[in-house]
Amino acid sequence: MKVDVDCKELATESILELIAEAEADLAEYRAELNRRKDEILKAMRAELEAKAAALGVSLEDVLASGKKTRAPGAPKYRHPDNGRTWTGRGKRPYWLKDVADIEQYRIS
């Protein structure tokens, strides 16, 4: 609802009342949106569970099937002083950044 109000002609108390009303309306609107979202999500979940059950699987199995996880790598390099390790995956750690031959830090 759009309300045209010239705030320059209103008293401070009137402006504060308008702000309070607007905040109350906004809170009510957000609560209604959250209720609708919850209803839609419940309906979607029920529909997906029914489809999964028709296939003879659980919804959790369907959702988990798309996840690809990678096992954590075993450490391949160890810092000589503080024992920090690096698997060799990803960006080189700071302690190996300027090392020309990292093989001297390889774990046997």
| Rounded-to-integer distance, Cα 78 and Cα 84, Å | 6
What's the whole-number mean pLDDT along residues 48-58?
A: 92
- Res 2: pLDDT: 65
**d(C-alpha 73, C-alpha 78), whole Å:** 14
Rounded Cα distance, 20 and 14, in Å: 10
Task: Give the predicted TM-score (pTM) of the model.
Answer: 0.45
3-state secondary structure of 86: strand
- pLDDT tens column, 20-39: 999 999 999 999 999 999 99
The pLDDT of 81-97, averaged and rounded, is 90
CB-CB contact of 52 with 59 (8 Å): yes
Contacts (Cβ under 8 Å, ≥6 apart) of 25 = 1
Q: Which of 7, 9, 29 is nearest to 19 (CA)?
A: 7
